[in-house]
Structure 1
Amino acid sequence: MTRSGPTTGARVAVALSGGVDSAVTAALLLKAGHEVFGLTMTTGFDAVSAGGELDHPAGGLPHVAAAAGVARQLGIPHQVVDVRDTFRQVVVEPFCRLYREGLTPNPCLACNRFVKFGRLLETALDMGAGHLATGHYARVAKDAAGLHHLFKGRDPAKDQSYVLYGLSQDQLSHVMFPLGGMEKAEVKVLAARMGLQAAVRPESQDICFITGEGHADFIETWSGTRLAEGSILDTAGRRLGTHRGLARYTVGQRRGLGLGGPHALYVVALIPEANALVVGSAHEAASRWLSATGATFVSGSPPPAGARLAVRLRYRARETTGVVSYPSEDPAVFHVSLDVPHRAAAPGQAAVLYRGEEVVGGGIIARTEALERALSALSSRPRRPVTREASRREDRPPAHLQRFHEES
Structure 2
Amino acid sequence: MTSSASAQQAARFPLWLLVCASLTALAPLSIDMYLPSFPTLSADLGVDIGRIQLTLGTFLVGLALGQAFYGPLSDRYGRKPPLYVGLGLYAAAAAGCALARDVEALMLFRFLQALGGCAGMVVARAVIRDRLAAHESARAFSSLMLVMGLAPILAPILGGFILQTLGWRAIFWVLVAASLSILWLVHLRMEESLDPARAAPLRLGHVLAGYGELLRDREFLGYSLSAGFAQAGMFAYIAGSPFVLIELHGIAPSHYGFVFGANAFGLIAMSQCNARLVRGRPLDRVLRGALLVPCAAGLGLAGASLAGWATLPVLLAGFFLFIAALGCILPNASAMSLAHQGHRAGTASALMGTLQFSLGTLAGAAVSLWHDGTALPLAVVMGVCGVGAVLMRAYGCRGAGHP
The answer to whether TM tops 0.5 is: no
Q: Which has the higher helix share?
A: 2
Query: Of the two structures, which has the highest relative contact order with CA contacts closer than 8 Å and spacing of 6 or more?
Result: 2
TM-score (norm 1): 0.26
